Structure 1
Amino acid sequence: MLMREVTSRLTQSELAHLGAGEVGYIRKMRSDEVSRCFPEAPDVNPNLDLWALFAADGTPILLTDNRSSTFYKAAEDELKTVSLH
């Protein structure tokens, strides 16, 4: 209930910038999603497990086949990380 009360007071712009520069999220990606989020990426083997780091607003930061690399990059950028499933 508290979250609903807080978000109802935020403007759409404020919500979009929530966590900007402070929070990043990590999620596993399928190869068919890569070109949508990382258009400059080369074709990727569909059997490859990929991990991506995104800024809180969804801006892509890093694409890798090594999950640990996403945490290292987040730490380098001083971002607190959350995982999405």
Structure 2
Amino acid sequence: MHNTKMPVWTDRKILSEFMSVDELTELGTGDVAYIKPIKARDLKEMFPDVPPLHDNMTLYALLNADGTPILLADSREAAVANAFEADLQMASLH
């Protein structure tokens, strides 16, 4: 059942009637990005070539709409600046 407090277009079941999984996955790719703070100890999965860092160090990953990593920065401001230079629309994470 659809949550009446949410727009209809946020319901995956309804969306799947109009778009394929591949189309949904590619939605916003190359145009929309988000920034995610990430601890150095969790980087290897996203960035396999990252050199050893202090485990508690917080870095900022700029990610494509589909979650593909674009870059890693030492500050949120640097990640935002890169997104701006690449003409990416920023999405907010909750």
SS in 1 for 2:91: strand
- Runs of 4+ aligned residues of structure 1 deviating over 6 Å after TM superposition are none
Q: TM-score, normalised by structure 1?
A: 0.87
Kindly report which structure 2 residues correspond to 1:1-85, keeping only aligned pairs within 5 A, or say none.
1-3=7-9, 4=11, 7-8=15-16, 9-85=18-94
Between 6-15 and 35-44, the greater mean CA deviation after superposition: 6-15
Contact 2:60 2:79 in 1 (8 A): yes
| CA–CA separation in structure 2 for the residues paired with 1:23 and 1:40 | 25
SS in 1 for 2:30: coil
Greater RCO, CA 8 A, separation 6+: 1
| CA–CA separation in structure 2 for the residues paired with 1:83 and 1:45 | 27
CA shift, 1:75, in A, is: 0.7
Structural RMSD (CA): 1.6
SS in 2 for 1:84: coil
Q: Structure 2 regions of 5+ residues with no counterpart?
A: 1-6
Q: Paired residues, what number?
A: 85
CA shift, 1:7, in A, is: 2.0
| CA–CA separation in structure 1 for the residues paired with 2:93 and 2:53 | 21
| CA–CA separation in structure 1 for the residues paired with 2:37 and 2:53 | 14
